[in-house]
Amino acid sequence: MILSKFSLRRQITLIMIYAIVIGFSFFSFTQLKIDFFPDIQFPIAGIITNYSGVGPEDIENLVTRPLEEAVSSAKGIEKVNSQSFKGASIITLEFEYGTDMDQAEIDIRKNIDLIRDFLPDDATEPLVFIFDPSMQPIMFLNLSSQYLGPAELRKLAEDKIEPLIERVEGVASVQTQGGLQRQINVNMNPVLLAAYKLSPQDVAQAVGLGAGLQPAGNIETKLKNYNLRVFSEYNSIEEIRNTIVTMKETEPVYVKDVAEIEDGYRESTTEVRADFGEGIVIQITKQSDANTVLTSRGVIDALPGITRQLPQGTEFTVIWNQSEFITRSINNLRNTALIAFVMAFLVIYFFLRNWRGSLIMGIAIPLSVIATFAVLYSVDLTLNIISMAGLALAVGMLVDNSIVVLENIYRHRELGESSMESADRGASEVGMAITASTLTTISVFLPVLFVPNVTGQLFKDMVLTITFSLVVSLLVALTLVPMMSANILKVAKNNNKSALGKIKNRIGKFIDDLRDRYQIILSWSLRRKKTVLGLVILSFVLSLGLTNFLGGEFLPKTDQGFMNIVIESPAGNPIEQTRLYAYQLEDILREEIDEEDFQSVSIIFGSREGIGAFGTTASTIEAFVRLRPVEERERSVFDIQDSLRARLDDVPGITYIFQEGGAFTTEKAIEVKIIGFDTDGAKEIANQIKSKMEQTEGLVDISLNVKETIPELQIDLNKDVLNNYKLSLSRCCRKYFNSNTRYGSFAVS
């Protein structure tokens, strides 16, 4: 072939070409991004709207349904899901795969603008975002101290630790949860308010206006112009006390006349328990184009320096680090590829019984792998478990082309031909055969690129990795193997008296016997063609029947040494009651998990902060349990989950699920959807189905997407009485029943 002839005639040129390829490949390997899964674009958009103090039913009627009707006409939408919570509406839009999500986001915003005036005035502007896996945190840290309290820890985390971590390359945002935040509280006396005929809203409005920045304009003179700035912020608690609420005849009524002001803390809506004590959780998110492993490594490397700047006794504990499982998975695949390379080397030596030939294979295989890294970098792929699995799978196929060429060249050398002649003829004779074989193998994998939905995106990296490595191995087999064979391959004369010679003779005799037995089986098969064909068809049919007994998973479950438990206590529970459930969960974890298996335990309960935590209420508990690596434990994480389920089932009034990380869909493995206009009837049917599913073996973590609503007190206003007192419905609700201000106290941030 032309390639083999070129490699033999232009050996120096070929060596220089491969030297350049190796250099660029090593550079590409250092630049490849490392991640757990490939970069997958999800055609999912979300809309979040907050309407503080409003119940789920009103949220659905006033916010969710108008938004659903407005955005459902956007091009490419396949499915619209919505959830209405107390004070929040969440709408999820699923588009067709291949939809331009940037344009889809623009279309959604345009449709919302058309009905924005019909939404409640007090509702926030609908927040539209495109779902991106990079929005998920890559690391959770626990901050604890022997000497600092929750308030000091929170302030330390927000003022000092967050800016230091945000300086790390690749970090997008850092968010602190838990602890106490300083706040000036105005505690009103309802008796004094009634005496002065004031409402809590009157006091809140007076304090708010007293602290507001007022425009002052500017002053122009002949020599210079000045801007005017009025310093109206409160500088002390005494100024708040002396703020005038109203005038009674000629006497002013001050805030101190109807309320007490204290320098206290914001009402706690989220609490954190870390390693069975109070703590602070720091959540770290990476930039969308950042390397997860390098970013996490940068944060870990920065922690000792940050700790030295903190008060004595303050320390960090890693609750969850996504890069650990990524690194462990990549290392396992790397080791698998190395074992495959060693086994291929030994098998080649076993059959050729020539160390020079094995050396050629030992160079050809890693060169094909290394050159593949350059191609992966050129097409902007990442080094993840899918691409590494493709590379590990390809190692066994990389040797096929080279060993066919090498064996044929070796045969010509045994026939007495010269090194150059045997290399040329040996490669040329099988060149078309290995080319056809490689293209046939590639044609099996390439159709996966055209598979729609997330499956095609997920396995694209594997297909491209296998394709690139096979093409590179073909080029190596047709160029490098003939050139190296012409220079270093020799037919060794066997010394029958030496120990190595005796071993080679025994291996040769074994191979000859194996070939003779194969010839007997082959002759029998050719004489009984119908029998062989019938056996093949029978085996095929039996194999198809066995598939019914095999389970099926999109991705296999893996023991990552991490558990995420989400518990919903009875709806309407205040955080004080939820705290008791959190303590009970801690006791269960202590009893069911061996102490030496723990690395860290963090429990967050209450109304979580941030977009990533929408949907949580004061009755929500989320536990993060980090275990030691699977090789250091006697029980797998799945066995531990089963033992925890048995204990949690005995806790009355709660529902729970074990959340799986790295999901590629917004749906569960099995979903039963009940569609109808009667919500109560649908919920009753759903509970009946849930009860039957709980009795079905193999089904766990069964839950309803409709949560129990928080109990509410309903006020039925008498409009005739309101008219007699010349009160409007809106004025009455705003003045006396404003849900944004607690009756008795409010906060001044």
Tens digit of each residue's pLDDT (9 = 90 or more) over 637-678: 888 888 888 888 888 888 888 876 544 454 566 778 787 777
What residues contact residue 62 under an 8 Å CB cut-off, 6+ apart?
Answer: 51, 54, 119, 120, 123
pLDDT at 159 over 80: yes
Supply the angle between the helices 453-488 and 2-9 in degrees, to the nearest 10. 50
Q: Looking at residues 199-225, what average pLDDT do you find?
A: 79
Contact status, residue 384 vs residue 38, Cβ threshold 8 Å: yes
CB neighbour list of residue 18: distance below 8 Å, 6 or more residues apart: 367, 480
Distance between CA atoms of 492 and 659, rounded to whole angstroms?
Answer: 62
Evaluate if residue 613 carries a pLDDT over 50: no
Angstrom distance (rounded) from CA 607 to CA 621: 9
- Whether 612 has a pLDDT exceeding 50, the answer reads no
C-alpha to C-alpha distance for 744 and 190, rounded to whole angstroms: 6
Question: Which position has the token pair 């030992």?
Answer: 362
- The rounded radius of gyration (Å) of the Cα atoms in the chain is 35
pLDDT at 609 over 70: no
Structure-model confidence comparison of residues 749 and 300, the more confident one: 300
Distance CA 435, CA 217 (A): 81
Q: Which residue has the higher pLDDT, 34 or 257?
A: 257
Range scoring the smallest mean pLDDT among 75-84, 329-338, 628-637: 329-338
- What is the per-residue pLDDT for 739? 41
What pLDDT score was predicted for residue 745? 46
Q: Would the pLDDT of 213 be above 70?
A: no
- 409 CA to centre of own chain: 51
For residue 39, give Cα distances in angstroms to 321, 355, 390, 515, 722: 19, 43, 16, 48, 61
Residue 744 in this model has a pLDDT that exceeds 60:
no
Q: Is the pLDDT of residue 51 over 70?
A: yes
Q: Write out the H or E segment, with its range, that includes residue 161.
A: none
Mean pLDDT of the chain: 80
Does the pLDDT of residue 355 top 60, yes or no? yes
The whole-number average pLDDT for the span 371-388 is: 82
- The pLDDT, as a whole number, for residue 592 is 86
How many Cα atoms sit within 13 Å of 528 on the Cβ side? 10
Per-residue confidence (pLDDT) for residue 712, from 0 to 100: 67
Per-residue pLDDT averaged across 147-165, rounded? 87
Residue 148: pLDDT band by 50, 70, 90 thresholds?
confident
How far apart, in Å, are the Cα atoms of 204 and each of 212, 474, 514?
A: 12, 78, 94
Over residues 279-308, the mean pLDDT reads 87
537: confidence class by pLDDT, cuts 50, 70, 90: very high
Answer whether residue 740 shows pLDDT above 70.
Answer: no
Average pLDDT over residues 444-467: 81
* CA–CA separation, 241 and 263 (whole Å): 12
One-character DSSP codes across 526-585: HH-HHHHHHHHHHHHHHHHHHGGGS---SS-----SEEEEEEEPSTT--HHHHHHHHHHH
